[in-house]
């Protein structure tokens, strides 16, 4: 987005290009995320390979309930396109511009973030470097150096660890569904998703300390079938399982998301449980808002949008946190709390029988419009 506006930037990445392009990540794009990728020209492969979903299915009590998402949100859809593929597209586009993109950078330190010329010290190709810049965007994840570069007494953090995790399964098998299936079962939550027309992605609720060795392929398929079963004899297609991993679930938010000329975005500032697939989409919303502030500043010299970045971004972050927590509570089973199970069932029934409840749910599910957009008019008049 900055390149399209004529703003020069340098990207420093700790990992190798191969690692970035092959790390398995989430795959559901909100309506406005997919729209933005189109706006900035990163949708060539997306248009060929992605699945656009107009609804999804909730399963509980042996019954299936389709939620007509697009009908309830003015045509908004969810798009299935793996984050890994977005990273490939973005890296390729960046390389094509010739702008600096440095992989395998180490020993990164941020200096002078309260000044108008902050610096980044780093090591690359066996040499030490100092990069002076106008601003720093800390898009380096939860374990990066950006957030720790802000004094601890400036930040307030909020966090919650959940008493369950997800067992993720990747299988070489044609998806058994054309839309996402969410299953709420007394054995725990299950999700059937897809990566392509020949690769399926599944998730099962497990313990945070789950031992992968206890999950044979046969046990995985049996449990998926059990948790997604319906009374109409639906069956799950099976195939070779190529990957299994356990992902813990947590919520995390840090405030503020800016300090001087350092701006946090994505996992550096917030983490959501994966149930509502908001992590990637929140990161895109962050950088869209930040790019808007940067373009406005370089064009006009006015910093109002930049100064308001944290406040505006956090409004969306907290709404996504609330929805992610609500969706997690709705679908995950706690065997120690039988009253909670009955409350879940009441909520599920309300969701599938009340158009008002269904509409509110879908509006959050497909995502809110972005607060900032880098418009085509910006590209026509680049600034430097």
Q: Which residue has the tokens 């983490």?
A: 271
CB 88 within 8 A of CB 105: no
User: Is 100 one of the catalytic residues?
Assistant: no
CB 11 within 8 A of CB 265: no
CB 253 within 8 A of CB 321: yes
CB 289 within 8 A of CB 337: no
User: Is 365 one of the catalytic residues?
Assistant: yes
Q: CA 92 → CA 13, 21, 98, 260, distances in Å?
A: 15, 10, 10, 31
Residue 277, burial from CB neighbour count under 10 angstroms (0-12, 13-18, 19+): buried
User: Considering 81, 259, 309, 365, which one is annotated as catalytic?
Assistant: 365
What is the full DSSP assignment across 271-292? E--GGG--HHHHHHHHHHHHHH
User: Considering 31, 185, 192, 278, which one is annotated as catalytic?
Assistant: 278
Q: What is the CA radius of gyration of the chain?
A: 22
User: Is 274 one of the catalytic residues?
Assistant: yes
Three-state secondary-structure class, residue 353: helix
Three-state secondary-structure class, residue 111: strand
What CA–CA distance (Å, rounded) separates 56 from 62? 16
User: Considering 53, 77, 192, 333, which one is annotated as catalytic?
Assistant: 53
User: Considering 81, 122, 182, 203, which one is annotated as catalytic?
Assistant: 182
User: Considering 32, 270, 274, 309, which one is annotated as catalytic?
Assistant: 274
Nearest to 374 by CA among 4, 7, 41: 4
Active centre residues (catalytic): 53, 182, 274, 278, 365
């Amino acid at each position: 987005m900055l390149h399209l506006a004529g703003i020069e930037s340098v990207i420093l990445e700790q990992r190798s290009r191969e690692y970035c392009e092959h790390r398995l990540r989430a795959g559901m794009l909100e309506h406005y995320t997919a729209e933005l990728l189109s706006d900035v020209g990163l949708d060539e492969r997306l248009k060929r390979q992605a699945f656009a979903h107009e609804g999804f299915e909730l399963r509980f009590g042996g019954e299936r309930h389709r939620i007509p998402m697009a009908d309830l949100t003015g045509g908004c859809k969810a798009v299935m396109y793996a984050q890994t593929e977005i990273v490939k597209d973005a890296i390729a586009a960046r390389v094509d511009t010739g702008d600096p993109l440095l992989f395998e950078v180490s020993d990164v330190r941020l200096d002078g973030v309260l000044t108008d010329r902050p610096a980044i010290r780093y090591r690359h190709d066996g040499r030490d470097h100092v990069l002076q810049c106008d601003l720093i965007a800390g898009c380096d994840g939860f374990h990066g150096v950006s957030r720790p570069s802000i004094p601890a007494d400036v930040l307030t953090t909020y966090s919650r660890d959940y008493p369950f995790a997800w067992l993720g399964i990747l299988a070489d098998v044609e998806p058994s569904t054309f839309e996402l299936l969410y299953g709420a079962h007394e054995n725990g939550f299950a999700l059937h998703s897809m990566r392509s027309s020949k690769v399926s992605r599944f998730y099962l609720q497990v313990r945070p300390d789950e031992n992968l060795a206890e999950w044979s392929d046969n046990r995985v398929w049996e449990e998926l079938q059990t948790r997604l079963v319906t009374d109409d004899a639906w069956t799950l297609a099976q195939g070779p399982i190529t990957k299994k991993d356990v992902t813990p679930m947590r919520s995390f938010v840090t405030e503020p998301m800016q300090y001087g000329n350092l701006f946090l975005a994505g996992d550096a500032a917030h983490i959501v449980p994966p149930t509502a697939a908001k992590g990637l989409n929140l990161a895109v919303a962050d950088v869209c808002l930040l790019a808007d502030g940067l373009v406005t500043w370089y064009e006009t010299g006015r910093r109002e949008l930049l100064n308001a970045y944290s406040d505006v971004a956090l409004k969306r972050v907290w709404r996504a946190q609330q929805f992610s927590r609500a969706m997690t509570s709705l679908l995950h089973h706690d065997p120690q709390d039988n009253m909670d199970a009955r409350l879940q069932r009441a909520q599920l029934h309300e969701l599938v029988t009340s158009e008002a409840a269904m509409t509110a749910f879908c509006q959050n599910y497909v995502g809110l419009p972005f607060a900032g957009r880098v418009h085509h008019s910006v590209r026509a008049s680049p600034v430097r």
